Amino acid sequence: MMNPFIKNTFLTVVAAGMLAGCGSGLAIVSPPIANIDQTPIKTTALTEDQLHNWKDLDLVADTVPGMSVNRAYTELLKGKKGTTTVVAVIDSGIDIEHEDLDGVLWTNPKEIAGNGKDDDNNGYIDDVHGWNFLGDIVEELLEYERIVRDKAQLPADIVAKAQKEYDEKVAEATASKQQYEQILQQINDADAVIVKTLGKPVYTVEEVKAIKSDDETVKRSVQVMTYFLGVVPTVEDAREELGGVIANATDLLNGEKLKKNYRTVLGNDPYVWDGKPYGNNDYWGPNAEKTDAMHGTHVAGIIASERDNGKGVNGVANNVKIMVVRAVPDGDEYDKDIAMAIRYAVDNGAKVINTSFGKYHSTHPEWVWDAIKYAAAKDVLIVNAAGNEGIDLDKNQVYPQDQVGTQPNISDNFLTVGALNYEYGSNLVAGFSNYGAQTVDVFGPGVAIYSTVPNNEYRNLQGTSMASPAVAGVAAVIRSQYPKLTAGQVKQLLMDSGLSTTANVNLGDESTKRFNTITTSGKMVNLYNALIMASKL
């Protein structure tokens, strides 16, 4: 599954690095394995500052499974700027005006902004900071829904798999629609009683709890509304949430979802590969509020928010430029868009590409595999999110990926990342994170990650979507400080230099396994260690 030359080289380097590190006072660290799951390592809750920055903390010093970013900058990177490295973020778009990102944007040196011309003759007009392969598309169907919709033009085996899932979802929708309609009716009935009892249309949970009555209907209504107002702020919020679920189920059951084709506004056939450019340069999408770029903006901030500028949060990497590549809608991405996005990033100078998305059906995986191989040939590293279903990817094919099932990798430049929790112990792995001894390469911080969101704001989000850019940030630092290392070498470096533990960890599918058996490397990515090992090359 890995390049034998790289593997043998790294075995030699690891041995030399461990010895040299010990002699220089910069030994590669190891986690306190003897303590895990035996005695409480951290008995106090994280402070707000620690929680906002836990990905940067050090496991040994802080007893938090971060990536030792702060330690790396303090002890190893002081005064070292490195080579400017371009990181492409293939995602939902980015707020390029954000106060913590506007100084780290990639700018196409061959393009004159706003002149309406393709100055560099790459086929993309005014691609100053990147490109938007979705045009004005925001929403999209899931891939299995599109396959069922377009089954007449797709292979039978792909259609059969998608149809099976679609039929299962229809069965689930039938049951859930009835259940949620009953719950909504229960809320409406109880609300009517509470409104009549209090004599006011809007009320708080405290006012409901204060109601005293011997009437059984009133008592039941108080119980119902006390429960629901403990979950959502208002009755209208409950109605809106339930109404949305019921509407989606109704659309599915009535076949309305399959009538939707968002692609028509783009004017591009997703099932025909011609390599011709399409889309526009609206970097955060069509909505002026920029809300559709929430995910991509958060991902970009994890990688490269301006460090030490007194605002928001520090990105993992310094001296990097973020290339915006919008190709991921609110729904499943098309294979064509992803393949085009990868090729665009490669052709325009990206050395690291972050892909925080994924799906379990694919109509043209070969297009994406060819793009991954193209990136490998051009020495570009792709860092990829493992997914958030809490399942073993050795048993479940996911896309994009650099292998079919557990077969050998198609290239050495694709690194798949699972998500860590900030609690070092049995809950070390995020409950939602996918894993796989043959298919997931490493783990990185992915729970409660604080980063940029549109309109100069900041927020905690979580997912392997956050773990991937954290690791991409580490990769960018290595590529910046050691630009002669190849993409394949950097991938192997991150796998070899991380921290590990033999402790049992809880997984999302309710199984328990030793941490060092749920990834190819058995490691948590660590910037401090990676820099030490890279220096020995």
Query: Mean of the pLDDT values across residues 376-390?
Result: 98
Q: Which of 259, 289, 313 is the last residue of a domain?
A: 259
- pLDDT given at position 30: 64
Instruction: Mark whether 277 and 410 lie in a shared domain.
Output: yes
Instruction: Mark whether 197 and 316 lie in a shared domain.
Output: no
Q: What domain range is 460 assigned to? A: 4-140+273-535
> Does residue 265 fall inside a structural domain?
no
> Does residue 395 fall inside a structural domain?
yes
Which CATH number fits the domain that encloses residue 32?
A: 3.40.50.200
> Does residue 264 fall inside a structural domain?
no
Q: Please tell me the distance from the alpha carbon of residue 117 to that of residue 100, in angstroms, as a whole number.
A: 29
> Does residue 280 fall inside a structural domain?
yes
Instruction: Mark whether 290 and 383 lie in a shared domain.
Output: yes
pLDDT digits (tens, 9 = 90+) for 496-505: 999 999 889 9
Q: Which of 207, 228, 259 is the last residue of a domain?
A: 259
pLDDT at 102 over 60: yes
pLDDT digits (tens, 9 = 90+) for 443-491: 999 999 999 999 999 999 999 999 999 999 999 999 999 999 999 999 9
Instruction: Mark whether 226 and 281 lie in a shared domain.
Output: no
- pLDDT given at position 3: 35
Contact call for residues 29 and 499 (beta carbons, < 8 A): yes
> Does residue 58 fall inside a structural domain?
yes
Instruction: Mark whether 430 and 530 lie in a shared domain.
Output: yes
Q: Which of 237, 259, 281 is the last residue of a domain?
A: 259
Instruction: Mark whether 93 and 133 lie in a shared domain.
Output: yes
Instruction: Mark whether 370 and 505 lie in a shared domain.
Output: yes
Averaged confidence pLDDT in the chain: 92
> Does residue 515 fall inside a structural domain?
yes
User: Which residues in 444-478 are b (16+ Cβ under 10 Å) and which e?
Assistant: bbbbbbbbbbbeeebeebbbbbbbbbbbbbbbbbb
Q: Please tell me the distance from the alpha carbon of residue 417 to that of residue 400, in angstroms, as a whole number.
A: 12
Q: What is the DSSP letter of 301?
A: H
Residue 420 to residues 111, 117, 135, 213, Cα–Cα distance (Å) = 40, 45, 34, 50
> Does residue 249 fall inside a structural domain?
yes
Q: Please tell me the distance from the alpha carbon of residue 528 to that of residue 71, in angstroms, as a whole number.
A: 7
- What's the number of domains the chain is made of? 2
Instruction: Mark whether 124 and 163 lie in a shared domain.
Output: no
pLDDT band at 61 (very low <50, low <70, confident <90, very high): confident
Instruction: Mark whether 525 and 390 lie in a shared domain.
Output: yes
Q: Please tell me the distance from the alpha carbon of residue 348 to that of residue 325, in angstroms, as a whole number.
A: 11
Contact call for residues 479 and 88 (beta carbons, < 8 A): no
pLDDT digits (tens, 9 = 90+) for 174-215: 999 999 999 999 999 999 999 999 999 999 999 999 999 999
pLDDT band at 36 (very low <50, low <70, confident <90, very high): low
Q: Please tell me the distance from the alpha carbon of residue 418 to that of residue 329, in angstroms, as a whole number.
A: 22
> Does residue 150 fall inside a structural domain?
no
Contact call for residues 108 and 122 (beta carbons, < 8 A): no
Instruction: Mark whether 98 and 229 lie in a shared domain.
Output: no
Instruction: Mark whether 127 and 25 lie in a shared domain.
Output: yes
Instruction: Mark whether 453 and 380 lie in a shared domain.
Output: yes
pLDDT band at 31 (very low <50, low <70, confident <90, very high): low
Query: Mean of the pLDDT values across residues 208-225?
Result: 95
